[in-house]
Chains A and B, each alone.
Chain A
Amino acid sequence: MRKYTNNKFMKAICITLMLAISGPSAFALPPDPDNAALLYYQAFLLYEQPDESTRDLLKDVSEGKIEPSKKIIEYVEGCHTSLELAMVGSEIPMCHWGVRFSEGFAANLPFLAQARFLYRLVVADARILAGQGAYREALSRCLVAKRMGQHMGDNVLISVFVAISIDKGANNCIRDILGRMPADVETLQWLKTQVATVPTRALSINHALKLEQEVALQTMRVENIDMLVETLTGAGIEVSDEMLKAVDKMSLEKCREHYSNHMSAMQNVLSAPMTYAKKYRELEKLDKRAKSEAKGNTDAAITAFLAPASAKAYNLSSNAHAINNATRTAVDIYIIKAKTGKLPDGLPADSPKDPFSGKDFEYEVTKNSFVLHCQAEDLEKNEIHQYEFKVSK
C-alpha cells in the first residue's frame, strides 16, 4: 500500500516537473534579431520621408553648420522609432547586409544610401541633445554613429569609404560636444572606455580589395559577359553588339591576368610594413602605371577601369586613422583638464600616434583651445592636418 502511494507521488512530481519545464518553452517568444542589419533595415523603413528643405536642414545640422531649428527638432523627434532601432542595432556585433556578391559589381547596395541618411538623423539628434545640455546622451548618439560606420563593413571599397565618412562625421560631432560641455570626469572616463571599445577591427582596404578582385575576375569571363556588360553600363558606358563580338576568351584572359597582377601588387604594398610616405608613393606609382599602360596595352584597359585609385583610398584611410587618434588623445587631455582645472603642458604618456609621421601629435595650447598637429604632410592634399579642440571656461 505504501509502495503504491509512493509511486503515485513520484508520478505526480514527474508530471509537475515536465509541465514546469515544457510550459515556458512552448510559449517562448522568438529571440530578437542577432543581425544588426535587420534592425537597420527596419529603421530605414520607418522614418518620415523629409521634404527637400528638411533634408537640407538636417544635413547642415548634422554637420554642425547651423543650430537645430524648431522644425528640425520636431522632425527628429518624429523619427524616434528609427533612432531607437539604430541604437539597438548598433549594439549588435554581427551585421550582414545580405549583399548578393554573385551579381558582381551589379549587386545592389541600397543600405549605403539609407545608412547615410540614418547616420545624419542620429548625429542631428546628438547635436539637439547637446544643445539641451544632455551631453552624455549626445555623446552616446555619436558612438551609435561610429558603430554604424563599422557596420558598413569592408567587403567592397565603396562601403569602406561610406564607413570612413560616417566615422569622420561622428568624430567631428564628439569634438564639438567636448568643446562645449562642462568638465565632467565621470562622463569623460565613460567616453574614453566607450571609444576604446567601439569594435577595434579597423575596416581594411586590403580586405575590400581582395573581395573586389575576386568579383572582377569572375566578371571578366566570356561566360559572364552579360555581367561585364552590366558592370560597364552601370558605369555609364554604352556597349554595342559589334564591340562584344570583338571580345573573345583569349583577350579577356589577358585582361584578367593583367588585372590580377596589378591588384596583387597593390595588396602587397598595402600589407607591407612601410611608413605612410613610402606606402603612398608606391601606390601612386602603381596607379600611374595602370593608367599609362592602358594607353598602349589593350590587356591593361579593363585594369585601368576597374582597379581603384589605391593611393587615394589609402590616404582616405590614413586621414580617418588620424582623426580617430586625435579624438582619443583629446579625450585624455579633457580628462586631465577636468581633474586639475587646467590643460596639461604636454601630451599624456602613450597617446595614440599621428599616422602620417608615426610620431606623437604636436600639442599646442591656444587661448580658448588646444590643437593637435600632425607632424608630416598629407601627400595627396599637400597639407599638414591639425585638429582644434575648444575648451569651455
Chain B
Amino acid sequence: MRPKENIEKFVRVGKPRVTTSRQMDKRTLDDSFEAMEQTIRTKSADHKPSVPRIIFQSRMIKLTATAAVIIVAIGLISLFVHQGPDEQIGYDQSPTKMMSAISLTMAYRRGGIDTLDEQCEKAIRMLGPRPLHLTLGQLLSENNG
C-alpha cells in the first residue's frame, strides 16, 4: 500500500477514536517536522538527491503536513464531541464567567437545577457582601459627614 493510502486509511479508520490534547497536537507536529528534516539532512549528506527523490520528498512533506493538519482538526472535533457537556468541570472560573449563559447552561446540563444553584451560590459568595439597607437618607448623611 502506498503512503498516501496508508494515511487515508488511518484517518478513515481512526477518526472517531482520536482524542488529542493540546500538548499531543504540538508534539505530533514537532515530531513530524523534525523527522522530515532529519531524513533530508541524513540522506543529503550521503547521496546527491535525484529528481524523482526530490519529487518524492516534496510529496512526503505535503502528505505529512496534510496528515498533521487533519489530526489537529480531528483533535478539535473530538474535543467538541467527547469533552461534551456531561463532563465535570471545575469551578476555576471567575464569578462573572460563572454567570455567563453558556456556563449556566452547562451547569444545568450536568446536574439540573441543583448544580445550577450550586454554581450560582458559589458565584454570589465570590462576588461578596452587599449593604443591608442603602437609603437616600443614609447616603446623604454619609456625604454630609
Q: Which residues on A are within 8 Å of B, measured CB to CB?
A: 44-49, 55, 78, 81, 104-110, 112-114, 116-117, 156-158, 161-162, 165, 231-232, 234-240, 242-243, 245-247, 251, 294-296, 298, 301-302, 304-305, 308-309
Contact = CB atoms under 8 A, between A and B. Distances in A.
Interface stretch (B1-9, B45-53, B72-80): B72-80
A283 to B, nearest CB: 16
B103 interface: yes
A227 to B, nearest CB: 10
Nearest to A240: B22
B124 A113 contact: yes
A245 B116 contact: no
B132 A107 contact: no
Given A106-B101, A237-B80, 7 more contacts: A46-B131, A46-B132, A106-B100, A113-B104, A156-B105, A158-B105, A162-B113
Contacts of B130: 44-47, 49
Contacts of B105: 105, 156-158, 235, 308
A158 B101 contact: yes
- Looking at B74, B79, B89, B97, the one whose CB has the most chain A CB atoms below 10 A away is B79
Contacts of B16: 295-296
Nearest to B88: A236
A111 to B, nearest CB: 9
Contacts of A113: 99, 104, 119-121, 123-124
B65 to A, nearest CB: 12
Interface residues of B, number: 50
Contacts of B84: 304-305
A112 B109 CA distance: 16
B93 to A, nearest CB: 8
A170 to B, nearest CB: 14
Contact of B73 (A105, A156, A240, A246): A246
A108 B99 contact: yes
A274 B22 CA distance: 47
A105 B109 contact: no
Interface of B: 15-16, 22, 25-26, 29, 69, 72-77, 79-81, 83-85, 87, 89-90, 93, 96-97, 99-106, 108-109, 113, 116-117, 119-121, 123-124, 128-134
B69 to A, nearest CB: 6
25 contacts: A78-B132, A108-B101, A109-B99, A109-B104, A110-B123, A112-B104, A112-B120, A113-B99, A113-B119, A113-B121, A113-B123, A113-B124, A158-B101, A158-B104, A161-B113, A235-B102, A237-B80, A243-B22, A243-B76, A296-B15, A298-B77, A301-B77, A301-B80, A308-B105, A309-B109
Which DSSP category, helix, strand, loop or mixed, fits chain B's interface?
helix
A348 to B, nearest CB: 33
A242 B100 contact: no
Nearest to B119: A113
Contacts of A238: 22, 79
B75 to A, nearest CB: 7
A113 B16 CA distance: 38
A156 B104 CA distance: 11
Contacts of A162: 113, 116
Contact of B120 (A47, A116, A239): A116
Given A231-B102, A296-B16, A305 B80 contact: yes
Given A162-B116, A309-B109, A81 B29 contact: no
Contacts of A251: 73
A44 B124 CA distance: 11
Contacts of A301: 77, 80-81
List of 6 A-B pairs having minimum Cβ-Cβ separation, nearest first: A113-B120, A236-B89, A246-B73, A105-B102, A240-B22, A234-B102
A156 B101 contact: yes
B100 A48 contact: no
A242 B132 contact: no
B29 A235 contact: no
A235 B96 contact: no
Contacts of A243: 22, 25, 72-73, 75-76, 79
Contacts of B102: 105-106, 231, 234-235
Contacts of B103: 234-235
A251 B79 CA distance: 16
Contacts of B117: 116
Contact of B81 (A105, A116, A234, A294): A294
